[in-house]
Amino acid sequence: MGGVRPGMGRIRLLVSLLSISAGAWAEKPQRPPALPVAFEENRGQADDSVRFVSRGARGEVLLSPAGASMALAGGLVKMRFAGARNDVSLEPEQPLAGVSNYFTGGDPARWRTNVRRYSAVRYRGLYPGIDALFYSRGADVEFDFVIAPGADPSVIALEFPDSLRLRVAEDGSLAGESPAGAFRHHKPFAYQEAGGKRRKVTARYRLAAANRVTFVLGEYGKSHALVIDPVLNFSTFLGGTGADGAVAAAVDAQGYLYVAGSTTSLNFPVTYGALRTTNAGGQDVFVAKLSPDGTQLIYAAYLGGSGNDTAAGLAIDGLGNAYIVGVSGSSNFPITAGAYRSIPTGVFAAKLSPAGTQLLYSTTIEEGAPRGIAVDSGGNAYLCGSTASPSFPVTAGALQASKRLNRDAFVTKLNSYGSALV
């Protein structure tokens, strides 16, 4: 499998939502809630071989016919379904409200909007009579094997990179070590349901090879379906969490909650057979709009390029447009036509439409460290922060027209089109 398409960033994200009212948010500052874990159909935001992408606070899960990859701050873990069908069908299940929008890279033709989100993805017929079902549970992505009556579960095999040293511990858990750290997973859980009752089936891991795991099962009824939960909670791989994080939140006049932050990028290859110890993708900026009670995602938008792009502030105007300030470290950061500055790196300001489907403007100002953004009734944006750049733009009649210290504070007013300083 190859790398992500040029110009397409990634992202992220995150955990189960906090139930929080707009009023409570305004009265008492709290940590911004994160996006619910979901699966998105790949429409160009990841490598062509990837069918679905799930982003959460723990990292990202990439699903392809060959298997699943988990991207974490500590590295990338690949799991292959050994001996499975190469032409297996991946089918989304349980559609979710809300969409994702990607404004990543400098080419608008590669931007993607209205990407649907789902709670689960099924590998139908992965092995004869056997499905694999990936689903979200709280902050995590988990999966089960669903074995139809009469199917043979002994054909299931999970294959990991050789560099991921595995062993089955005395308590039945699967333990391993990698260049990025150690991990341990509880022993697998299997069960059957009949007559409205669930009956546990004895299950354990077996190392069929140094990097291949199979399942050994006790007696069970062959005339009933069987479920095996490998209890391979992806979030525990490499003992780390993703680099996603919310940095700012705002509430509009209708009580909708907006969250902005940065999320790990998807600019990495997911070739099976090797364990990467670093993520080469960088970060993108994300903006999410949530229902007033924080339980429903309206949209999630991603903004960035192939480097490290971070958010620093967020503001919402009376029409529901979202204004974001941050720093671009990407040579292909999206810049809109007519922008004040076309150089893609430095302090950026961007404006998103109320539906999150249009990048109304995106411009950079100069090198610096932004700290916040505000917007007035006319749609003018006010940026503040500090800069060490001697060429930071200054308008006529400004209080201070030149750099005096190692770092100076700045306040910049940008017009509603992002095309000029005011």
For residue 155, the SS3 value is helix
| Alpha carbons 398 and 217: distance in angstroms, whole number | 76
Tokens for 246? 């919310």
Which pLDDT does position 236 carry in this prediction? Answer: 52
Find the radius of gyration of the CA atoms of the chain. 24
Q: Give the chain's residues under pLDDT 70.
A: 1-36, 56-59, 71-76, 138-139, 178-183, 232-244, 265-281
Q: To the nearest 5 percent, what fractions of the chain are helix, strand and coil? A: 5, 45, 50
pLDDT at position 265 is 56
Tokens of 306: 């192939």
Query: Residues 173-178: contacts with CB within 8 Å, 24+ apart?
Result: 174/205, 174/213, 174/232, 178/75, 178/77, 178/238, 178/275, 178/277
Q: How far apart are CA 102 and CA 330, in angstroms?
A: 15
Structure tokens at 112: 């993607």
Q: Residue 72: what pLDDT?
A: 55
Alpha-carbon gap, residue 355 to 378, rounded angstroms: 19
DSSP string, 17-39: PP---HHHHHHS--PPP-PPPEE
Domain positions in the chain: 38-229, 244-414
What is the per-residue pLDDT for 173?
86
* Phi, psi for 165 (deg, rounded to 5): -75, 120
Structure-block tokens of residue 193: 């349901």
User: Would the pTM of this model clear 0.75, i.e. be above it?
Assistant: no
Nearest to 103 by CA among 346, 291, 351, 289: 351
